[in-house]
């Protein structure tokens, strides 16, 4: 297997970095690794907001409690929870711990999630009420919370190395569940150059195979995608589109946008929308802010919205701006 090579480059001079263990680099699991994820959640996936860390408040209806400590809990823009298990070294039981935590967090409601998030923010010096935390969560999620997505968390296992038994078990679990279980294996490695240390993050599972890169005729009757996967894809599509528009500067800040119901929706619904806009023309106009948290400033009330959230909360569906 080819080995990674890392160099520090200064002009024509390339100085090789030496790969060291996280322990040799003096990096600790909770103080360092966990904090990296909190400050840079992109290392566990795009569009993830950290909800809480070291959560251990589990109890039954009869009052029996358990103190199992979840490393990191995140929420993606589709409204799906992300369970993150961190290990500084290799751990052959990392997937077993994460499965337990996934089962536990699947019982979160939006209200208990907001409470946990408020507690997390307060512990980090950001005074936040449960209602304010709830607003943060709703602003983060593209559209409305979907119970099926919320109760089917994604799992991310982040360690220095994953032994073969973990990779084998994860692959089997994903396959036997029909990919309703969504488990990712990610690794982190440390590189030392003089007194400086750099950390590299990689995704090793699911593996991109040759079939993922070759084009072939599409089977229009294929229906192998699970409901959860379909909902996740649909919920993240708008968020990704908005981000691409922002990243590539496709719309200027302040650009005027007009609501145009498409022929993809029934004629009666289209007529109702047009009538609603005709009553107050400002309802059909918005300006582009280039802010991913609220890219549209709606003239209807002057506030900022995401496209899907605005559509859902104003009872408009299948519209194009």
Query: How much of the chain exceeds pLDDT 70, in percent?
Result: 84
**Among 104-108, 204-208, 260-264, 289-293, whose mean pLDDT is lowest?**
260-264
Quickly count: other Cβ atoms within 10 Å of residue 14's Cβ: 11
Gap between the Cα atoms of 239 and 308, Å rounded: 9
Average pLDDT over residues 175-188: 94
Cα distances from 165 to residues 8, 24, 95, 97, 188, in angstroms, run: 35, 25, 10, 14, 19
Beta carbons of 130 and 114 less than 8 angstroms apart: yes
Confidence at 305, pLDDT banded by 50, 70, 90: confident
Give me the residue label for tokens 């593209």.
Answer: 142
pLDDT exceeds cutoff 90 at 214: no
Return d(Cα 210, Cα 15) in angstroms, integer: 33
Q: Please indicate whether residue 267 or residue 313 has the higher confidence score (pLDDT).
A: 267
**Angle, CA 76 vertex, CA 29 and CA 81 arms, to 5°:** 70
pLDDT of residue 291: 81
Neighbours of 82 (CB within 10 A): 25
pLDDT tens digits, residue range 120-155? 999 999 999 999 999 999 999 988 899 889 999 999
User: Which tokens hold the place of 49?
Assistant: 């907001």
Q: Does position 225 have pLDDT exceeding 60, yes or no?
A: no
Alpha-helix runs per DSSP H in the chain: 35-39, 94-105, 110-123, 130-140, 147-150, 164-176, 227-247, 267-279, 307-313
Spell out the domains of the chain, with CATH numbers in brackets: 7-208 (3.40.1350.10), 239-320 (no CATH)
Over residues 228-240, the pLDDT tens digits come to 666 666 666 666 6
Q: With contact defined as beta carbons under 8 Å apart, do 24 and 190 qualify?
A: yes
Which one is predicted more confidently, 293 or 153? 153
Q: How confident is the model at residue 316 (pLDDT cuts 50, 70, 90)?
A: very low
Are 82 and 75 in contact by the 8 Å Cβ rule? The answer is: yes
Which tokens sit at 111? Answer: 């209200």
d(CA 34, CA 32) in angstroms, rounded, equals 6
Higher pLDDT, 10 or 318: 10
Residue with structure tokens 């396959």? 175
Rounded CA gap, 53 and 41, in Å? 12
């Amino acid at each position: 297997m080819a080995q990674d090579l890392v160099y520090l480059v200064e002009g024509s001079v390339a100085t090789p970095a030496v790969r060291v263990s996280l322990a040799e680099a003096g990096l600790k699991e909770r103080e360092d690794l966990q904090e990296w994820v909190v400050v840079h959640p992109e290392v566990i996936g795009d569009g993830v907001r950290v909800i809480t860390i070291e959560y251990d408040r589990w109890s039954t209806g009869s009052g029996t409690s358990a103190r199992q400590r979840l490393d990191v809990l995140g929420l993606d823009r589709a409204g799906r929870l992300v369970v993150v298990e961190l290990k500084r070294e290799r751990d052959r039981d990392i997937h077993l711990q994460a499965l337990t935590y996934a089962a536990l967090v699947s019982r979160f409601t939006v209200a208990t999630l907001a409470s946990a998030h408020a507690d997390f923010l307060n512990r980090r010096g950001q005074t936040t009420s449960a209602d304010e935390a709830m607003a943060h969560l709703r602003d983060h999620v593209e559209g409305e919370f979907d119970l099926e997505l919320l109760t089917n968390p994604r799992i991310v296992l982040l360690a220095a190395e994953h032994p073969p038994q973990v990779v084998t078990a994860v692959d089997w679990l994903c396959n036997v569940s029909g990919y309703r279980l969504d488990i990712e294996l990610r690794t982190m490695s440390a590189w030392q150059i003089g007194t400086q240390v750099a950390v590299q993050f990689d995704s090793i599972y699911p593996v991109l195979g040759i079939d993922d890169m070759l084009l072939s005729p599409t089977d229009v009757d294929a229906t192998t995608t699970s409901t959860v996967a379909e909902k996740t894809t649909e919920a993240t599509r708008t968020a990704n589109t908005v981000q691409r528009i922002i990243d590539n500067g496709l719309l200027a800040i302040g650009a005027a946008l007009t609501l145009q119901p498409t022929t993809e929706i029934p004629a009666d619904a289209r007529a109702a929308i047009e009538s609603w806009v005709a009553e107050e023309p400002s309802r059909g106009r918005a300006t582009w802010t280039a802010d991913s948290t609220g890219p549209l400033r709606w003239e209807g009330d002057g506030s900022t919205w995401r496209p899907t959230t605005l559509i859902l909360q104003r009872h408009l569906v299948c519209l194009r701006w």
